[in-house]
Structure 1
Amino acid sequence: MAVYGYARVSTTDQDVTLQEVALRAAGCEVIRSEKRSGTSTEGRTELQTLMEFARKGDTIVVTRIDRLARSIADLASLVRDMEAKGVTLRATEQPIDTSTAAGRCFLQMLGVFAEFETNLRRERQMEGIAKAKAAGVYAGKGRPASISTERVRELRDRGLGPSAIAKELRISRMSVHRALNLKEA
């Protein structure tokens, strides 16, 4: 009966250290950590490894259930897989313990709120984009160009080829081609 920890943050500039400390304090013998979005279980190799490795009687511990999943469907699927294997899920910051009826109930309620929070965030993002588009400040085509197309064109007109232009401006040849195509299009 082993106790395993799972820590996750969404972006590479975030840190899992606080989660790992809490998981060690909760008695986790092995901790799997990753920096991946929680909106899907796809591509989360550390979670998949943990799910494959856990055996009957083992416990998987997270600090909060949103570290495990952000949708009811993913959460339900993970919990179902754990229950089928005889693995218990616990959270250090929430009263979740799937070995008890109350813990399973609370898990389902928190899962609903985690998905609700994700949907609210998505709605706010879409509202912000719509507002920015209405104000004419959102082009939807990424960041502004950092290469002067005029300078690229000037160098081309002086007889330099794409490789020489790229070397002169310290940019890639592809950037030269894009800049020329943008200006001529």
Structure 2
Amino acid sequence: MKIGYARTSTLDQTAGLEAQRRELQAAGCEKVFEEQVSSVDHTKREKLAQALDYVRDGDTLTVAKLDRLARSTAHLLDLVETLETKGAALHVLDLNLDTSTSTGRLMLTVLGGIAQFEREIMLERQREGIAKAKAEGKYKGRKPTAQAKADDMRRLSAEGRTRKQIAEMLGVSERSVYRVFSAA
């Protein structure tokens, strides 16, 4: 059985999710797991976990693109190992890569390493650009949202609200609420 997995990083990437869904269905996937969540913290990818749990001996987990599945080579190889333990394989459509063959497993490892390298280089350039912009006084970062709500936090606290309630009501983290009160 072919099982599909589709993912986009944000909720506003609906076109990307729809495109992946079409590709997976065209490839013959009988069941598709979809989610809109960042891959940075892969522990929160519930649909991926469900797909891996659903896969059985002889099945193939299919993704449209490799970057939809994993951000690091280590995570990618862990996923492939999980699939192999269950007697399943991975198929990446845009690369026509299939881990049921030794060549496919080799290519997956090489391409996964290259993808991770590219991401690390991009992040390094981003950090360098931010540092340069800061040095030139052009980069201020985002405006601190919790500090802007400090007066509301104090008012709600005076009304007897807990730190957790204040955070939920104002749409900030509980840690931010504590930070505002500790600075006062």
- Give 1:143's aligned amino acid: K
Structure 1 residue runs of 4+, over 3 Å off? 144-147
Task: Find the counterpart in structure 1 of residue 13 from structure 2.
Answer: 14
How big is the alpha-carbon RMSD for the aligned residues of Structure 1 and Structure 2? 2.8
Q: Aligned pair in 2 of structure 1 residues 92, 75: CA closer, same or farther (>3 Å)? A: same
User: Would you say 1:30 and 2:18 are equivalent positions?
Assistant: no
Task: Find the counterpart in structure 2 of residue 88 from structure 1.
Answer: 89
Name the % identity.
43
Give the TM-score taking structure 1 as reference length. Answer: 0.75
Task: Find the counterpart in structure 1 of residue 143 from structure 2.
Answer: 143
Structure number with the higher helix fraction is 2
Distance 2:112 2:83 in 1: 16
User: Would you say 1:57 and 2:55 are equivalent positions?
Assistant: no
Contact kept? 1:40, 1:69, Cα under 8 Å:
no
1:2-25 deviation digits (Å, cap 9, x = unpaired): 210000111221120000000000
Task: Find the counterpart in structure 1 of residue 75 from structure 2.
Answer: 74
Q: Which runs of 5+ in 1 are unaligned?
A: 153-160, 164-171
Q: Which runs of 5+ in 2 are unaligned?
A: 157-169
Equivalent position SS for 2:29: coil
Distance 1:76 1:39 in 2: 16
The equivalences for 1:122-161 within 5 A come to 122-140=123-141, 142-143=142-143
Contact kept? 1:58, 1:87, Cα under 8 Å:
yes
1:84-138 deviation digits (Å, cap 9, x = unpaired): 1101110111121011111111111110111012102211220121012101133
Distance 2:155 2:59 in 1: 60
Distance 1:37 1:113 in 2: 20
Contact kept? 1:6, 1:61, Cα under 8 Å:
yes
Give the TM-score taking structure 2 as reference length. Answer: 0.76
- Aligned residue pair count: 159
